[in-house]
Each structure stands twice: as C-alpha cells, then as structure tokens.
Amino acid sequence: MLSMLALTKVENERQRNTLNLIASENYPSPAVLALLGSQWSNKYGEGYPGKRYYAGNQYTDILETQVQNLALQVFDKTGEYGSNVQVLSGSNANMMVYLAMLEYGDTVMSVSIPNGGHLSHLSAVSNWNKFFKKVHYDVREIKPNTFEIDEDDFVQKLIEHQPKLVIIGFSAYPRGYHFEKLIRLAHKHGALVLADIAHINGLVAAELHDTPFLAGDAGADFVTMTTHKTMRGPRGALLFFKKTYEQIINKTIFPGTSGGPHFHQIAATGRALEEILGVETYPGDVSFVDYSKAVIVNTKSLENGLAAAGIEIISPTQTHLCLIKLPDTIDSLEMQKMLECQGVITNRNTIPFDPKSAWRPSGLRLGMAALTSRGISTEQSFELGTRIGVAIIKGDDMSLYAHELAANLKWYY
C-alpha cells in the first residue's frame, strides 16, 4: 500500500502526463494550493467576523471579511449583493438556498440533467424530491443539433406550476445565454431566482458572458458558484444574495447547518480572486481576461477539429465546453475508458433528450479551461480535436501524441 505522500506523487505525475479535458476541472496556481495546506487549516472559528465562539480569531475575521469583499469586487457591480464564503461546495451552496427559502411541498423549476442541468437542481435522483416538487423547463432545437433554452416552455411552466424557486444554470450547456429576460419572467410570476454559474463564473468575471448580478428586479436573488472550474481556484464555493436575504442565508449556514469555516479554503479562494483582479498573478503573467478569452477560443478550435474529423457537434460552443454525440454503435463508457488509456481524460455526458441512460449516455463533454492554463495553443487545440475524432471514428491510438503534447505543455507544480 502506498503512503499518502507516495500516492500524491503518482497522482501528480498522472495529471502532468495526461491531457485533461474535463470541463469542471482546472489547475489552480501553486500559491492557491499552498494556502490549502497552510496554517489557516489549524484554526476553528464558528460564527462570523466579529462574533466567533472561539478565541484567537482576530486574523480569521480579517481574512473572511477581505475575501467576502474580494468576491463582491469581482462579481457585483450593483452594490445590491452580499456574499457568504463559508459554503463548502456548489451543491452545498444550492442547498443553503433551498433550506433558507423553501417550505415543504414548494415547487422548484430547473433544467433536467439530460438537457444540461445539474444533480443538485432537483434531478430525478435528488433526495430533495422528498421535500419539494420539481418541474423542468426544456431546451428546444433551433436548428439541427443546436439546442437553446425554450423560452415559451419556460413561461408556460411558470404559469402552470407557479414555482417558488427557479434555477437558471447548467453543467453541460455549451451555449451562452442571457439572464435578465429569464429572471424578469420568473419574478413576474412570483418566483425567486437562483442563478447557478458554477461553470461560467470565470467567464462572467472576465465579462465574456452575461451576468446574473443585475440591479433590482433584473437580478437574480441568489447566485451560487464553485471556485475551481473557470475561476481557477481551489475546490470550494461562493454564495451571493440580495442583501434583503442576508440574515436568513447566513443563519441557515451558521448555526443552521454548519460548524466551523474552512479558513484554508477561504484563503485559497481569496488568492484566486486576487489573481482575477490582477493583484496577484498566475504563473506566466497572463491576465485573467486574456486567459479566459483563450479558453473560449481554444474550446471552439477543439470543437472545429472534432467536426473536421467527422464528429457530430451538439449545440456549437460559445463557452468553455463543447458537447459531442458519439456514433450510435459506440458505448460512451468504453470510449471514455479507451481515451483515458491513451492519455486523454474526458467525461461521458448526456445530450438533450438523450434516449440512453446517464451511466452510458450518448455523448462526451469536453472543456478547455485546464489545458489553457497549461498554455495549449489554438493550433494545438484544433489538432487535439482532430486526433480525438479520428480515435473515436477509426479507433486510432493517440497515446504517443497525447504523451508528447502533455510533455510539452507547462506544469507549475
């Protein structure tokens, strides 16, 4: 049996020597990782800044307040939002909103997993279905293989089901989308709005995607996000809320459901926010905006390479991820395993109105946030897409190519 340090070493080598195309993963800076293992991990501090149940929290108070302010500086231009940095994950952040704002039997409206939603949005297998009713609004095919939010269905479901909470957010939706119209419609019909921007928050921070942080009735009541995808921070989350809901959200988190904050995670998130703002820099000194622009360009280039090899594209990308449909004769689980054996890390994924199971769905989801952090070029992204496409269709072995490309990309650890 390997020791923890030895196991960590081989995992480091696995990451370095493979091509990571998982859209929900990235490589935070060495400074972010160092903070995760810092002395902040030693401190316990139940409560909030200025009101802790333990002594010795004078610096954690400064830390937490500072990270709250950094988060608002990055995302909120309205001055109408507050932030909580104690939530531990994106799903956990969503749950805090459910517990704070919903009563037993209330209806939640979201997109289903096959159409791009997330497990935590009251999916078919969610335990929250024991307490709340769910209804899903659909996407529609606006042209062959291009699916976007069905606004007519969105309105019809609002009228028919009168949901208490509407979730606008996705985990496998390659298209850009606009928040204001959907938020206003939900508010018009008496619903609260939770915008889950876990995947696109880095693009929102770089002003390359529309934002749900809007003034008045145009803005989401709550915004949740993870910090480790396009934001390129540690594994963690942030929860924002219109200030009207500050007390109920904070009380739901502590003492309602949680104990001591994870200050090492909060500090690492703060460093990632500083890198977004340019106060600190990620290795290579590329600004966060330029990095985010490269993510979008590289994702489109990867997709173009896949298409050139004959792969069927679902909803041509406008973001950091693309979605492909595998030939019907190919088992997506076996294809994912085959690509992994050849050094390409992907995840199988449902496509809109997928007739297959979530375990063996029809597609693969591919993202370029991680490889862009390693310095992959647009030309390399296109060739990578072509090589993957040929491997899928013809069964070509791309092990040598993947190993050589990985060896030539940057590695900061």
Among 292, 265, 264, CA closest to 278 = 292
**22 secondary structure, DSSP code:** -
Q: Is 130 a catalytic residue?
A: no
Q: Is 146 a catalytic residue?
A: no
Q: Is 76 a catalytic residue?
A: no
End-to-end alpha-carbon separation of the chain, Å? 24
Catalytic residue among 52, 134, 229, 374: 229
Dihedral over Cα of 259, 49, 225, 157: its sign? positive
Q: Is 270 left (phi over 0), alpha (psi -120 to 50) or beta?
A: alpha
Q: Where are the alpha helices (DSSP H) in 102-162?
A: 151-161
Q: What is the number of other CB atoms lying within 10 angstroms of the CB of residue 206?
A: 21
Q: Is 137 a catalytic residue?
A: no
Q: Which residues contact 368 (CB under 8 A, 6 or more apart)?
A: 21, 295, 298, 299, 302, 320, 321, 376, 381
Q: What is the DSSP string of 48-87?
A: ETTEESSS--HHHHHHHHHHHHHHHHHH-SSS-EEEE---
Half-sphere exposure at residue 16, Cβ-oriented, CA atoms within 13 angstroms:
12
Catalytic residue among 46, 80, 246, 312: 46
Residue 69's identity, in one-letter code, is N
Q: Is 346 a catalytic residue?
A: no
Catalytic residue among 107, 226, 372, 386: 226
The three-point CA angle 210-147-328 to 5° equals: 135
Backbone torsions φ then ψ of 122, nearest 5 degrees: 55, 55
Catalytic residue among 44, 77, 133, 153: 44
Give the pair of three-digit tokens for residue 359.
């375990």
Catalytic residue among 16, 77, 235, 356: 235
Q: Is 153 a catalytic residue?
A: no
Catalytic residue among 76, 196, 221, 354: 196
Q: How far is CA 254 from CA 26, 189, 250, 317, in A?
A: 30, 31, 6, 39
Catalytic residues: 44, 46, 196, 226, 229, 235
